[in-house]
């Protein structure tokens, strides 16, 4: 049986022949069309589908052989059966040589024609099936070859990025490889900053450097922000007709078709890859989309590995820097050299364009520049910058800062306050996002603020700030310890010298004192009436006491201790200064908690300590006030055990905030007649007894000194 779509053309200049053959073939179910004009038949062969051509050989204009040639030009697999009433060997050979399927003689037997037509159409269907199969096979081979090429590209890309461990080099490689596998001329890789929830371009191809530098995309905005937020890859065929993105991305990429895929590690987005401007202006295909998505999964692993490598390398570098600090800082001789070394070490980890060393003036609550480093002028861009010339030349303070509202352990908070002060001052410029202010403290009190900054667009990371805080604080401690050690060495030398000089001074002082005593016995009336004589005796006595104090200070021998009730020492010291308290109208009060107040101490030295503090309290209240001694058990903030505590408080003039950290320094005094050894001796005595002491004060409201004695002593 024939198929309904089998189309047969019958071409013969005899109408009766065409009609009879058509009638017979239609009865067999074929779709038949007849032509008496050979040129019309030729046109139909060219324009319409035909499965079999049945043509007379001899016709006007075009012969059957001509139609055979035309059919072969259109489709050489169209079967053509030639008919003739003038058979010859020559015409038969020519027909076969030109590709005729068969050669029939008129008059035609219908049974023979039906059989030949059936076979020709079966061959035609077989040829068409074979052709379709070949086309499908060709297409499958093409797809397979493309897939193999894609896999090879992915393999080579994976092998290439897997051999790179440095993050910046890796990101450049990823962008280059991604553009090659997708045939994109423009592309970028953007990484996500968790702290600011924004994307920044870390490597790019085909983009202007200014675009790379300035682009900061909040998550959720633009194509890249959308992909970073959803974690889903995206292919955009035409940005101009996409309502979500066309107004944002046209300026950057200048392309209708875009690809953007996320970099995912354990379902967490760490960045995105953008591709645009496919070669030839073509639109990215699903194959490009699939290829870039697969490539991105490889790239994400490589980026994460590079991150880990960078973190480990950074940690190693940080330990190396801390080791160098502990080794080198103690040998630093000047503050300026100390600052330069700090900046130099930190620059090995993150960029530092400039640094400013501020001194904290507690009396005025001002930060005053005391040193700068960096280029003479730091480039001032839209992201910020500092003009160091103004700071170094003018030394303009930042103005009052209320530290009561700032936790000095929170660098971010202090940095915000200092940055705001910089913006407010006409002599400074916006410090920009890459800025930090690190506090430097001594004895828990702020002394300096070390500011670091860069003109870059990226803020310092938490790791950068943490390292800076650690290095600066440790360096400051080591630097101060070294200076203290140097001072101690000098003081030891001075102590030895003072001890020798004091020993030598005792002889002439003894001679002068003895001479005065002889004169008093010999002329007692003149001695009593002479102010000059009495002044000489008083000054000799004062010089003798001063020499004794210098000897004690320069020779801290081990104390001989005994069990003593501290309350009795306080009572004895109070008796000695009671006349002075009575003279100035000072109210004295003593209160003790229940405790064992007997401790092993050197009686004379502790007596001197208590007396020294009571005398200072009386001197601080020239117009009267209240002096109070309280005894109780307390655990100091900086200790892990309880101590027997004597707290001596007064309502006198108090101590200035900036002087509190200095009151225990040797030779530091605010008294016109003092030599600055009193409180230094108190600290030395308490330290020698395994104890400690603290001071708190508010200027104009008094001072509180706390003596802590070990209970186990």
Q: What is the tens place of the pLDDT at every residue in 445-459?
A: 788 888 888 876 677
The 10s digit of each residue's pLDDT in 280-296 is 888 888 888 888 888 78
CA nearest neighbour of 466 among 349, 624, 360, 634: 349
Q: Is 488 helix (H, G, I), strand (E, B) or coil?
A: helix
DSSP string, 255-280: -S-EEEEEEEETTEEEEEEEEEEEGG
Mean pLDDT computed over 110-114: 84
Confidence of residue 631 (pLDDT cuts 50, 70, 90): very high
Q: Mean pLDDT highest for which of 209-223, 242-256, 333-347, 394-408?
A: 209-223
Confidence of residue 499 (pLDDT cuts 50, 70, 90): low
pLDDT given at position 630: 94
Q: Which of 41-50, 194-203, 542-551, 558-567 has the highest mean pLDDT?
A: 41-50
Mean pLDDT of the region 496-508: 66
The conformation of residue 662, written as its DSSP 8-state character, comes to G
Rounded to an integer, the average pLDDT of 69-79 is: 88
Where do the domains of the chain lie?
7-132, 164-312, 332-460, 487-554, 562-710
**Mean pLDDT across 289-313:** 78
Residue showing tokens 């073939």: 25
Mind giving me the DSSP string for 277-321?
A: EEGGGPPPPHHHHHHHHHHHHHHHHHHHHHHHHHHHHHHHHHHHH
- E strands in 304-455: 354-361, 366-374, 435-442, 445-453
Beta-bridge partner residues of 216: 200
- Asked if the bond preceding 107 is cis, omega within 30° of 0, the reply is yes
For residue 673, pLDDT beyond 50: no
Mean pLDDT (whole number) for 166-174: 78
Percent of the chain clearing pLDDT 90 (strictly above): 8
Dump pLDDT digits (tens) for 333-368: 666 777 778 788 888 888 888 888 888 877 677 888
Q: Is the pLDDT of residue 120 over 60?
A: yes
| Class for the domain spanning 562-710 | alpha beta
HSE, CB side, 13 Å, CA atoms: give it for residue 611: 14
Report the range of poorest mean pLDDT among 236-245, 610-619, 646-655, 696-705.
236-245
Would you give the DSSP letter of residue 34? E
Displacement of CA 432 from its chain's centroid (Å): 15
What is the band of 157 on the pLDDT scale with cuts at 50, 70, 90? Answer: low
CATH number at 487-554: 1.10.287.130
Integer Cα distance of 526 and 536 in angstroms:
13
Q: What is the DSSP letter of 400?
A: B
Res 342: pLDDT: 79
Token code pair at residue 622: 């020239």
Tokens 């700071």, residue located? 391
Residues 450, 440: contact at Cβ < 8 Å?
yes
Tokens, residue 315: 């940690």
Q: Higher pLDDT residue, 279 or 671? A: 279
* Helix, strand, coil percent values for the chain (each to nearest 5): 50, 20, 25
Query: What are the distances in angstroms from CA 428 to CA 74, 259, 378, 400?
Result: 84, 44, 12, 16
Parallel/antiparallel/unpaired status of strands 52-56 and 102-105: unpaired
Instruction: Identify which of 479, 485, 425, 490 has the alpha carbon closest to the alpha carbon of residue 448.
Output: 479
Residue pair 95/3 in contact by the 8 Å Cβ criterion? no
The residues near 401 (Cβ < 8 Å, ≥ 6 apart) are 365, 366, 367, 417, 418, 421
**Yes or no: domain 164-312 corresponds to CATH 3.40.250.10:** no
pLDDT at 302 over 50: yes
- The larger pLDDT score, comparing residue 469 to residue 671, is at 469
- Predicted confidence at residue 377, as pLDDT, reads 44
160 class by beta-carbon count within 10 Å (0-12 exposed, 13-18 middle, 19+ buried)? middle
Is the pLDDT higher at 136 or at 496? 136
For the cut 60, the answer to whether the pLDDT of residue 483 exceeds it is no
The mean pLDDT value of the chain amounts to 78
The token pair at 547 is 């020499």
For the segment 14-38, what is each residue's pLDDT rounded down to a tens digit?
Answer: 888 899 888 888 888 889 999 999 8
CATH fold for domain 332-460:
Beta-Lactamase (3.30.450)
pLDDT for res 9: 92
What is the per-residue pLDDT across 507-559, written as a single tens digit (0 to 9) for each?
A: 677 777 777 777 777 787 776 777 777 777 777 776 776 666 666 655 555 45
Coil/strand/helix, residue 710: strand
- Tens of pLDDT, residue by residue over 379-405, are 444 445 566 666 665 556 777 777 766
Q: Note the pLDDT of residue 647.
A: 93
Least confident piece of the model among 105-119, 542-556, 586-600: 542-556
Say whether pLDDT at 691 is over 70: yes
Question: What's the pLDDT band for 649 if we cut at 50, 70, 90?
Answer: very high
State residue 625's pLDDT score: 92
Q: Do residues 598 and 564 lie in contact, with contact meaning Cβ atoms separated by under 8 Å?
A: yes
Average pLDDT over residues 688-707: 86
Tens-place pLDDT, residues 403-430: 766 776 677 788 888 888 777 776 666 6
Sign of CA dihedral 374, 377, 380, 386: positive
pLDDT in the model for residue 664: 64
Please indicate whether the domains covering 332-460 and 487-554 agree at the CATH topology level.
no
The reported pLDDT for the residue numbered 592 is 92
| pLDDT for position 558 | 46
Of 588, 582, 587, nearest in space to 570 by CA: 588
Ramachandran region, residue 197 (left: φ > 0; alpha: ψ -120 to 50; beta: rest): left
Which pLDDT does position 492 carry in this prediction?
A: 56
DSSP assignment letter at 530: -
Neighbour tally for 362: CB within 10 Å: 16
CATH code for the domain defined by 7-132: 3.40.50.2300
The answer, yes or no, to whether residue 667 has pLDDT greater than 50, is no
pLDDT at 349: 83
> How many angstroms separate the CA atoms of 255 and 184, rounded?
11
- Mean pLDDT for the stretch of residues 71-79: 87
Say if residue 87's pLDDT is above 70: no
For β-strands 52-56 and 80-84, DSSP reports them as parallel
User: Do 182 and 154 touch, CB atoms closer than 8 A?
Assistant: no
In this predicted structure, which of 253-257, 408-412, 437-441 has the lowest mean pLDDT? Answer: 253-257
């Amino acid at each position: 049986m024939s198929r309904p779509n089998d189309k047969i053309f019958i071409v013969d200049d005899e109408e009766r022949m065409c009609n009879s053959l058509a009638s017979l073939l239609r009865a067999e179910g074929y779709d038949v069309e007849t032509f008496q004009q050979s040129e019309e038949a030729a046109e139909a062969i060219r324009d319409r589908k035909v499965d079999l051509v049945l043509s007379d050989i001899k016709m006007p204009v075009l012969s059957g052989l001509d139609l055979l040639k035309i059919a072969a030009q259109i489709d050489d697999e169209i079967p053509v059966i030639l008919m003739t009433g003038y058979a010859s060997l020559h015409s038969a050979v020519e027909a076969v040589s030109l590709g005729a399927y068969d050669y029939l003689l008129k008059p035609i037997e219908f049974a023979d024609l039906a059989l030949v037509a059936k076979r020709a159409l079966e061959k035609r269907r077989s040829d068409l099936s074979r052709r379709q199969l070949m086309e499908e096979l060709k297409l499958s081979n093409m797809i397979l070859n493309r897939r193999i090429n894609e896999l090879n590209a992915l393999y080579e890309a994976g092998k290439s990025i897997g051999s790179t461990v440095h993050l910046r080099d890796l990101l450049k490689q990823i962008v280059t490889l991604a553009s090659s596998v997708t045939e994109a001329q423009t592309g970028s890789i953007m990484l996500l900053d968790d702290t600011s929830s924004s994307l920044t371009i870390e490597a790019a191809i085909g983009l202007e450097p200014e675009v790379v530098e300035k682009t900061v995309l909040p998550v959720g905005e633009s194509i890249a922000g959308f992909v970073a937020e959803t974690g889903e890859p995206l292919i955009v065929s035409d940005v101009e007709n996409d309502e979500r993105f066309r107004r944002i991305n046209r300026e950057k990429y200048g392309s209708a078709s875009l690809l953007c895929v996320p970099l995912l590690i354990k379902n967490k987005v760490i960045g995105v890859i953008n591709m645009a401007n496919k070669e030839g202006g073509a639109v990215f295909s699903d194959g490009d989309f699939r290829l870039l998505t697969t490539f991105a999964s490889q790239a994400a692993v490589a980026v994460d590995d590079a991150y880990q490598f960078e973190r480990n390398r950074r940690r190693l570098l940080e330990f190396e820097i801390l080791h160098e600090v502990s080794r080198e800082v103690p040998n630093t001789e000047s503050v300026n050299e100390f600052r330069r070394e700090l900046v130099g070490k930190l620059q090995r980890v993150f960029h530092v364009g400039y640094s400013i060393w501020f001194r904290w003036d507690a009396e005025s609550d001002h930060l005053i520049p005391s040193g700068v480093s960096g280029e003479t002028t730091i480039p001032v861009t839209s992201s910020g910058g500092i003009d160091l010339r103004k700071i170094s030349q003018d030394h303009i303070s930042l103005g009052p800062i209320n530290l009561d509202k700032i936790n000095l352990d929170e660098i971010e908070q202090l940095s915000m306050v200092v940055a705001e002060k910089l913006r407010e001052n006409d002599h400074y410029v916006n410090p920009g996002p890459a800025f930090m202010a690190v506090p430097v403290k001594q004895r828990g009190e702020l002394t300096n603020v070390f500011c670091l900054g860069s003109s870059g667009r990226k803020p310092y990371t938490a790791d950068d700030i943490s390292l800076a805080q650690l290095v600066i604080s440790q360096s400051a401690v080591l630097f101060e310890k070294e200076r203290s050690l140097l001072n101690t060495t000098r003081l030891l030398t001075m102590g030895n010298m003072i001890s020798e000089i004091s020993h030598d001074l005792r002889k002439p002082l003894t001679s002068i004192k003895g001479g005065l005593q002889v004169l008093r016995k010999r002329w007692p009336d003149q001695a009593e009436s002479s102010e000059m004589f009495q002044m000489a005796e008083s000054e000799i006595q004062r010089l003798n006491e001063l020499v004794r104090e210098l000897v004690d200070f320069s020779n801290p021998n081990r104390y001989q201790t005994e069990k003593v009730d501290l309350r009795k020492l306080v009572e004895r010291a109070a008796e000695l200064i009671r006349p002075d308290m009575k003279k100035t109208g000072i109210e004295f009060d003593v209160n003790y908690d229940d405790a064992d107040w007997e401790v092993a101490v050197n009686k004379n030295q502790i007596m001197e300590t208590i007396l020294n503090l009571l005398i200072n309290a009386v001197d601080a209240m020239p117009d009267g006030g209240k002096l109070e001694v309280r005894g109780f058990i307390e655990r100091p903030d900086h200790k892990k055990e309880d101590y027997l505590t004597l707290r001596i408080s007064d309502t006198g003039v108090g101590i200035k905030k900036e002087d509190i950290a200095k009151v225990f320094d040797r030779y530091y005094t605010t008294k016109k007649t003092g030599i600055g050894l009193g409180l230094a001796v108190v600290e030395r005595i308490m330290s020698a007894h395994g104890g400690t002491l603290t001071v708190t004060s508010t200027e104009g409201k008094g001072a509180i000194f706390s003596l802590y004695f070990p209970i186990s002593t």
